[in-house]
Amino acid sequence: MSGEVFVDAALFMGMHHEDERVRRGCKAFFARALGRPTAPVHMSLEQVGLCDALVWRRPRGEQDAYYPFMDRLHTDLRIDRTGYAEKDTRRAWEDPALDGLPDHERLLLGQVMERGGTLHTASARLLARPGLPVEPAEALGDEPRFPGGLEPFYRISLALRVGRDEL
């Protein structure tokens, strides 16, 4: 797979997953990405919106605990937020490998595939489909810590937890 790294809402919100294995794997991905400040991570505008939609359904206290971490991570990590181009959407509807996926996943994978990238995800549905350019989030060893003072904000943000059915 190419060097183009894409993430989805499942990976981003997976840092707050109820399943500790998933949570640690997603956190490890972002902690490693912060260690490579020159390599951008790509995230479609729709996937950013899916994260917000999930958080905004939560009680105000969970939102207040979560957003200081998210704001800092989006500032510290180079995330290129991009909309879909016509070629991305065409690929989403014309590539038979994407048949049967929900529209938001077809569009995202159309974007990833058109740009020769790899999608890092915690989506069980996408990871179960062979032949797609997807990689799981995996935790290796001890849980990593976020650098630069971000870890305390992350710990507070864990007041918000998501389940598998929300990703």
Look at the chain and report how many structural domains it folds into. Answer: 1
Helix (H) or strand (E) holding 86: helix 86-94
pTM exceeds 0.75, yes or no: yes
Q: How far apart are CA 132 and CA 88, in angstroms?
A: 15
pLDDT single digits (tens) 59-103: 999 999 999 999 999 999 989 999 999 999 999 999 999 999 999
Q: Which domain holds residue 91?
A: 5-166
Q: What is the pLDDT of residue 2?
A: 52
The label of the residue with tokens 């800092």 reads 72
CATH value at residue 87? 3.40.50.1010
pLDDT single digits (tens) 17-46: 999 999 999 999 999 999 877 778 999 999
**What φ, ψ does residue 129 adopt, rounded to 5°?**
-90, 115
Confidence of residue 3 (pLDDT cuts 50, 70, 90): confident
Q: How far apart are CA 43 and CA 112, in angstroms?
A: 10
Q: How far apart are CA 122 and CA 29, in angstroms?
A: 11
